[in-house]
Amino acid sequence: MDAYIFKLKFTSPVHFGDTGIDLENVLDTVSSDTLFSALVNAISANLGSEEASKFVNDFINNPPFIFTSLFPFYKEMFFLPKPMDDSFIDENLKRELGKELKKINWLEKKDFLAWIKREAFSKEKITEIKSYQSFVKDSYKKEIRPRVTIDRNTNQTTIYHCGYIYYNSEAGLYGLVCFKDRTYVNKFKLALNLLGQTGLGGEKTYGCGMVFNAILNINTEKLTLLSLYHPADKELMEINDALDCYSFTRKKGWISSGRYALPLKRKSVGFITEGSVLKKSVKGKLVDVTPENIPADMLKHKVFRYGYAFTVPLRGL
């Protein structure tokens, strides 16, 4: 399979919600399950629920393509999450620069490739990597705005706060996508264009730009995860054999259907996170998070979260 890169440039503020009080907590990246849901909603809003259902059904057993979470880029620098496996780094160096290593969250592409090949990292190289972390932080700014809601019955006002992120003109988010079925390349481009019309994030106001370039071929022993991953049913019994270094997150939230936000919460679901290291190839699945015992006229379709694994080699690229 060939991997391609796609870029999203934002021309207006975005709100990528995080769990917290009110809406002030925001994220600066977008996880793969959130991106999948946004693509489905964009198709539903622009092409209808039948087309959205076809899109989802294609992913239930054998997905025609898989994709990563969205990561930051600045100019021509593409950042990837630092793999959790640092066992190849000299122990004396880790003792000396342990705090600096912990502050590193992102690796530029060339350093990511060196890391997963387990090349020797010098003190100077670690200092260099630490220095460009600021490019990620400086590529956007966060802002919290007060907002007001008015109760329809009492006209009573309530103040809350909402967080926004502003990406500068030379920065944004990008992802990688691998096509198992090449006929889906144009369908994926269409879905991204529809996402540009519908919006990504809570406030649904952003501009979207897209560039495709072939960059990777995937074939390896150990693998680094670049998307959220939820084990398929057949993988659960052997999941401990597949995991090497990993972290876990649990996602929950409200349901959106097309252009409408519904007063329904989807089921909570757990994922293995980006940057985790796997000992063998895994597949993952779409996770059914449809709430139970809801009125039939309120939600007319099932709700899924994307949990397919997108991995790159830890050695031998």
How confident is the model over 205-252, as pLDDT tens digits?
A: 333 333 233 333 344 467 889 999 999 999 998 898 888 888 899 998
Cα–Cα distance measured from residue 199 to residue 193, given in angstroms and rounded to the nearest whole number: 10
Q: What would the pLDDT profile of 259-290 be if each residue is shown by its tens digit? A: 777 888 899 999 999 989 888 889 999 999 99
Q: Which residue in the block uniquely carries the two structure tokens 């980006």?
A: 274
- For residue 97, tell me if it sits in a domain: no
Percent of the chain with pLDDT over 70: 86
Q: Give the residue numbers spanning the domain of 191.
A: 2-75+139-313
State residue 50's pLDDT score. Answer: 92
Counted domains in the chain: 1
H helices of 48-149, in order, are 49-60, 91-102, 109-116, 123-131, 133-138
- For residue 249, tell me if it sits in a domain: yes
- For residue 114, tell me if it sits in a domain: no
- For residue 133, tell me if it sits in a domain: no
Q: Give the predicted TM-score (pTM) of the model.
A: 0.65
- For residue 116, tell me if it sits in a domain: no
State residue 195's pLDDT score. Answer: 83
- For residue 85, tell me if it sits in a domain: no
* CATH at residue 70: 3.30.70
Strand order of the sheet with strand 311-313?
243-245, 277-278, 223-225, 311-313
- With a cut of 50, list the residues of the chain below it in pLDDT: 21, 205-220, 316-317
State residue 217's pLDDT score. Answer: 37
State residue 283's pLDDT score. Answer: 92
State residue 215's pLDDT score. Answer: 35
